[in-house]
A and B are shown apart, each in its own frame.
Chain A
Amino acid sequence: MLKIENLHVNAADRPVLKGLSLEMKAGEVHAIMGPNGSGKSTLSYVLAGRDGYEVTDGKVEFMGQDLLAMEPEDRAALGLFLAFQYPVEIPGVSTTTFLKTAINAVRKKRGEKELEPAQFLKLQKQKIQQLGMDPEMMKRGVNVGFSGGEKKRNEVLQMAMLAPKLAIMDETDSGLDIDALKVVSEGVNALRGPESSFLVITHYQRLLDYIKPDIVHVLANGKIQKTGGPELALLLEEKGYADFYDATEAA
């Protein structure tokens, strides 16, 4: 489903990813853990297609297609979703308008029929109930005046509405208290299934208590340094990332 091979990426002319390789199968949940500055956010932005990153080597295949050659909107239509670490505020565009435009744009691109307003509202109502969100928020500008927790919940709402094949969660736990973390995690867990994969990027093990990964990778110095099962996350929690810095420096 996702295959990253020897990915090298520069940000502001500085190498950040230096030969990252990773493979995910449909339905799997992978966690990428790493210290600050290891390239976690760069990886998520490069996969989503944000400007400002230069791929100098390597390739990424998603659903059998060359992901890096595609526009961000085409990646979304193909089933890629990035839950932002810092969701953007868009004054003047209501959350409902935004969601409706996004869903119908994706459906159109996939050759599906656009949702009738009533169908859309029904779906939206169902999802906001599941996430315990206030329906009034849907009338406000996207993320405008939302608390940190509300913004993350809004990310999960968008994810639930768009039903992606691969959701990349960039530090979704940052800035969340334990209650918000639970709600967000439950929202994610409800979306798990044989066709839905998750790439959970985090600094801390805490999130992985709620979203249980199948596979854990350690990212440091622009490369996957180690891959293992959930126990690897616990080991990191205990020992920190120091060992991996040593490994990369030696390399």
Chain B
Amino acid sequence: MMATTAAGTFMAQAPQVAAAMPWLADAAALQNDKAVGWIKALRATGAEAFAQTGLPTVAWEGWQYTNLRALAAAKFRYSTDPVKFDAAKIPGNLLGTHRVVLVNGQYQAKLSNLPDHVTVMSLMEAAEKNVTGIEEQLVTLGDLAKTPMTALNAAYVRDGFVLVVAKNRDVAEPIEVVFFNAGRDAAIYPRVMYRLGENAGCTVIERHCGEGAYFANTYASITLESAARMRFYRFQEESDAGFHASNTIVQQHKDSSFEGFSLATGGKLARQEFRLQLIDRAISSSIGGTYLMKGQQSHDFTVLADHFEPDGKSVQHFKGVVDDQARAVYQGKIHVRRAAQKTDGYQSHHALLLSPTAEASAKPELEIYADDVKCSHGATAGQLNPEAIFYLRSRGIPHDLARSLMVESFLGGAIEKVSDQALRDIYLSRVSAWLAGRGA
């Protein structure tokens, strides 16, 4: 009966894609809740858009290298029921004590612990209280017809949280956000808002992890008001059977700075998209990442740095290793609009293939409409240099250790851009652990 309602509510105008329907099966029931009007409208818009596209295929622009066949074949169901979980399985903090915990996207106030001057609440509570900026940030901008993952997330907007740092507050200790996914074939659609007031500063560590099979499709909107500073460090450590899709939109105002980094080791199939919007002058924005993929894993970093106004600087710096039959993708674009003179843009991607059956694809792009800019990019894919391995071995360093040393030094080149020393060390130790786990 619900499915019929869904069809009636969402799919009046355009032709639908049959394969999209199962993904929307639980969306209609959601509309019976007491959500505020704009949330209900957002769900309807999202469902309508997704019904017309379904999951993207390799024929889609931007999806040539990431095939969602395995996701399309799986069956995941969304539920509003409070999720049952074993709290002992949720990983403890990497640093300090401040944390936000989500289980299957549902905000767990009792497990969370926040510092002063930081406000956190569930998305639904924040919508009801009409927290400053929430509608503007969470009603998705852009063309949903071209962003099916975002549309699907919008169809289910309910879970997630809002984090606001008061203006002029510099929060010294990092805030860890744990997205713990408790499996059981759950479809999980958190929508998250981070907002840093004028001249505020904070470090957020996002950890995406879980057990069993699930599909976590997260949409995060970050707004940095003038002169705000954010460090955003992510660990994509989803379960072996987990699917991960995340879209992170960073909207930056004048003189603000954003430093992002993501380490990806988890998931069966994962795609992390970052859209950096430098909408005013003198903005600094950087995003980096490292992936370590093995077995049949597949990972995709898709990044857009979009310069609207003059004097902006953006950096994309990615490095990764791929082993066995794993696949990795990097798509990076710098878009410099006509007004964005004196833009300084840089992007690089370097992949190391540890096996002859591993694959890495890169699509670096520059789209420049201003005439006085400095933009450059570089991309390579290669193997460990056998001469270097022999050189190390001839000095007594065992083969495994020689390979590990080479991989660590290779990835170290990306991780060293992380300005927080403690995080840098954690990222490096994750690399060592991965190498130890695969028996180098």
Contacts and interface: CB of A to CB of B under 8 A. Distances in A.
Asked if A and B are interacting partners, one says yes
A124 interface: no
Interface stretch (A18-26, A46-54, A115-123, A237-245): A46-54
Given A90-B406, A92-B410, A93-B406, A50 B397 contact: no
Contact of B399 (A71, A97, A98, A109): A71
B85 interface: no
Nearest to A103: B396
A162 B399 contact: no
Nearest to B402: A73
A101 B405 contact: yes
Given A51-B386, A84-B391, A92 B413 contact: yes
Q: Which residue, of B385, B386, B396, B399, has the highest number of chain A Cβ atoms within 10 A?
A: B396
B410 A98 contact: no
Interface string B97-133: 0000000000000000000000000000000000000
Contacts, number: 79
Q: Which residue, of B392, B401, B405, has the highest number of chain A Cβ atoms within 10 A?
A: B392
Contact of A101 (B390, B397, B410): B397
B406 to A, nearest CB: 7
Contact of A162 (B395, B398, B405, B406): B395
Chain B, interface size category, equals 20 to 34
Interface in A103-120: 103, 105-106, 109
B398 A73 contact: yes
B405 to A, nearest CB: 6
Contacts of A71: 393, 398-399
Interface string B381-423: 0000111101111111111011001100110110000000000
A74 to B, nearest CB: 8
Contacts of A142: 391
A89 B392 CA distance: 11
A90 B392 contact: yes
A72 B405 contact: no
B390 A98 contact: no
A77 B395 CA distance: 8
B424 to A, nearest CB: 15
A117 B401 CA distance: 19
A106 B387 contact: no
Contacts of A162: 395-396
A82 interface: yes
B391 A88 contact: yes
B390 A73 contact: no
A98 B392 contact: yes
Given A71-B399, A88-B387, A48 B394 contact: yes
Q: Which residue, of B392, B394, B402, B412, has the highest number of chain A Cβ atoms within 10 A?
A: B394
Contact of B393 (A76, A91, A97): A76
A154 B155 CA distance: 63
Contacts of B390: 50-51, 72, 88
A122 B70 CA distance: 56
A71 B393 CA distance: 8
Nearest to B404: A101
Contacts of B395: 76, 81, 98, 102, 105-106, 158, 162
A87 interface: yes
Interface in B64-89: none
Q: Closest 7 CB pairs between A and B?
A: A92-B409, A76-B396, A106-B396, A102-B395, A72-B393, A88-B391, A93-B409
Interface of A: 48-51, 71-73, 75-77, 81-82, 84, 87-93, 97-98, 101-103, 105-106, 109, 141-142, 158, 162
